[in-house]
Amino acid sequence: MKANIRNLSLDEISQILIAQGESKFRAKQVYEWIWQKSATDFSDMTNLSKDLRDKLSEGFEFKEISEHMIQKSSDGTIKIGFKTFDNRDIEGVMIPMEERMTACVSSQVGCSLACAFCATGFLKRERNLDFYEIYDQVVSLNKMALAEYGKPLSNIVYMGMGEPLLNYENVVRSIRMINSPIGLQMSAKRITVSTSGIVRGIKKLADEGLNINLALSLHAPNNEKRNEIMDINNSNPIEELIPAMNYFFEKTGNRITFEYILFDKFNDTMQDARELAVLCKKVPCFVNLIEYNKVEGVEYSKSKNENRDAFFHYLRENGIPSVVRRSRGKDIDAACGQLANKIKDL
């Protein structure tokens, strides 16, 4: 059985090639082809001898994701449905805006958390994505951004399918490769990891030395309501998340973003706004108020505009930095909470 070459470090490739009588610098050339140039076939590595390419092909393989669905929204958002090497479905989204081009990537096939409002939560978690499968999404979405809009990606958000901190090692390894001079060379400041709230994962991420951003899918200002829509809160309650988020801020200097979907008559009252404002004063944060995107089979509905506006103004009047985030890609099921592999083969 051939080994997956993308699981090997530069040092490991060097050792293998040196043992075969090759010069050490050949390993760096191979590594650059794999990561900087995103090659997935040894025959493309044209600065290597044919003999070396043949030897690599005999001993190693690439396990890559492939595009099999592309949908473009009326607002310019593009969703790509990917197939993994073992024929599983994941989705990534490219969101164009005047000031930035953002890739939203998945970290798991499905999700195990079953949040009550999220389409992905209705899917079972089949497996974690390997770090290179996350990396490949970024490469594909960057090519799409360049082809469609003539601009490269400026931002990456781990907000697609799955809980990133339950696939911790692969997520961190993908970030390091995206950030690496021998990878995509994207600034860590442009990368945001979104979590439903895994206390141990937040603390661990704070210690990685990565200058990335953290977003918490909060969606309720107290444990009672959060328990109702997010089962993870039963084991990771708000009072335990607060010190973990403060620790992340202390280690990185980066404010936490609270993602807060407004649901009609559930979490959009002035009492909810008051409770959220109190919570926000305990953590250096910024609030994204998000319009709910309808998901089939979910009982929750979008907050009324007047309630949304009153909620927003209350936060701002009380010194809480906040913004209302407009949904993008709703017509292709690409908006927040809608990723559920509603895809068709090309």
Please say whether the beta carbons of 208 and 251 come within 8 A: no
Q: How far is CA 152 from the centre of its chain?
A: 17
Given a contact cutoff of 8 angstroms between Cβ atoms, the answer to whether 300 and 262 are in contact is no
Distance CA 345, CA 329 (A): 19
Q: For residues 75 and 142, what is the distance between their CA atoms, to the nearest angstrom? A: 18
Instruction: Quote the CA–CA distance of 313 and 21 in Å, as a whole number.
Output: 68
CB atoms inside a 10 Å sphere around CB 202: 23
Q: Point out which residues pair with 80 in neighbouring strands.
A: 70, 92
DSSP state of 130: P
- ∠ CA 144-147-152, nearest 5°, is 70
| Structure token digits, residue 234 | 């039963």
List the catalytic residues. Answer: 91, 336
Residue 239: both structure tokens together: 């009072």
